[in-house]
Structure 1
Amino acid sequence: MRGNGVRGPVRLILAAAAVAALAASLTACSDDSSPSDTASRAASAASRAASAASRAASAATQAGDALASATAEAGRRFDEFKDGADAKSEVKLDGTASPDSDGRATARVTASNPTDSARSYVVQVDFRDKSGNLLDTTVVTLNDVAANASKDATARSNRALTGDVDTTVARAVRH
């Protein structure tokens, strides 16, 4: 949280309440319209502001739920590979993600296998905004990477992401 600790959707709801209070106070000061006309317009504006705040709060909740679900799924996928070796240093990403035709962020993942036999990799890729805030996470599997060779795959976010999106390898396991 930043500033006074009030999150975005809550700020919108508080702003809608402030607009309604201001509009109500203006009804007593208006010379151009009857108080009932001014009050009606103010009430309508306040209702629209409250509706917008409600939609923003709903969208924020859905995004938070989607991120929690993706994070839980990543944890489940890694739980399947208890005997794997940490391979984070063997995996590289393009860095900045690019949107696909559905608006989902994508990035190329490259696993380099330094061993003398074929191995598979499980890689958790985090999608972050320029401030470092986690937007989404996904897991990519690269099967049968040949000995002393590299293999590419594509990490794709679970939902459409907007703005500049960076990618990081959160964790990687070789097995």
Structure 2
Amino acid sequence: MQSNGARGPVRLILAAAAVVSLAASLTACSDDSSPSDAASQAASAASRAASAASRAASAATQAGDSLASATAEAGRKFDEFKNGADAKDEVKTDGSANADSDGRATVKVTASNPTSSARSYVVQVDFRDTGGNLLDTTVVTVDDVAANGSKDATTRSNRGLTGDVDATVARAVRH
């Protein structure tokens, strides 16, 4: 599935191709054997645009690969807890993520244990933009939450995220 973020690089590549085509046409129309200044400038601009589009497409691919890897890792961690109880309603985030010094989103997670003995929690937190698009996912463990008590942990995105980022509990297991 292609995300909205991947459309921009594709548009840049198409625009760069159009500029290269225009530059070739201008060169062919030149009165002498050397390309005109306008054609040279257009060709140079097209080259820069193509390079920028290539870098943007590469960054989009890397971001997609990073998200796929994080999602797979979250699945593996949850697979380790086959006999855990669904505890999504027992875990909350404080909502809006804050950027740390590396640009990674951090959020506090609170697990509230309603049972009569200490329990540990495995929590998947999804980081989303204001449009609801999934940007990253992490898994945090909240160990030894006291009976009828609560405990906090902090989770951090796998990569730098920009803009307004919300963090929500995607799933949680108590064991």
Q: Tell me whether the two structures share a fold, i.e. TM-score over 0.5.
A: yes
Distance 2:159 2:76 in 1: 19
Deviation per CA, 1:61-92, whole angstroms, max 9, x where unpaired?
A: 11011101100000000000000000000001
CA shift, 1:12, in A, is 1.2
CA distance in 2, matches of 1:30, 1:45: 18
Tell me, in whole angstroms, the C-alpha distance in 2 between the residues paired with 1:51 and 1:57. Answer: 10
Structure 1 gaps, min length 5: none
Q: Secondary structure at the match of 1:138?
A: strand
Which residue of 1 is the match for residue 150 of structure 2? 150
Structure 2 segments unaligned to the other structure (5+ residues): none
Residues 1:128 and 2:141 aligned together? no
Which residue does 2:164 correspond to in 1?
A: 164
1:74-153 aligned at under 5 Å gives the runs: 74-153=74-153
Contact 1:30–1:38 (Cα < 8 Å) also in 2:
no
- 2:63 is aligned to 63
The TM-score normalised by the length of structure 2 is 0.91
Contact 2:19 2:43 in 1 (8 A): no
Residue 14 of structure 1 pairs with residue 4 of structure 2:
no
> Could you report, residue by residue, the CA deviation over 1:83-105 in whole angstroms, capped at 9, with x for unpaired residues?
00000000010111000111100
Q: What amino acid does structure 2 have at the position aligned with 1:91?
A: V
Query: Within 1, Cα distance between the matches of 2:145 and 2:30?
Result: 75
Matching of residue 48 in structure 1 with residue 61 in structure 2: no
Tell me the secondary structure at the aligned position of residue 166 of structure 1: strand
Distance 1:2 1:154, change over 3 A: closer
SS of alignment partner, residue 171 of structure 2 = strand
3-state SS in 1 of match to 2:38: helix
Secondary structure in 2 matching 1:7: helix
Kindly report the root-mean-square deviation, in angstroms, between the aligned alpha carbons of the 2 structures: 2.0
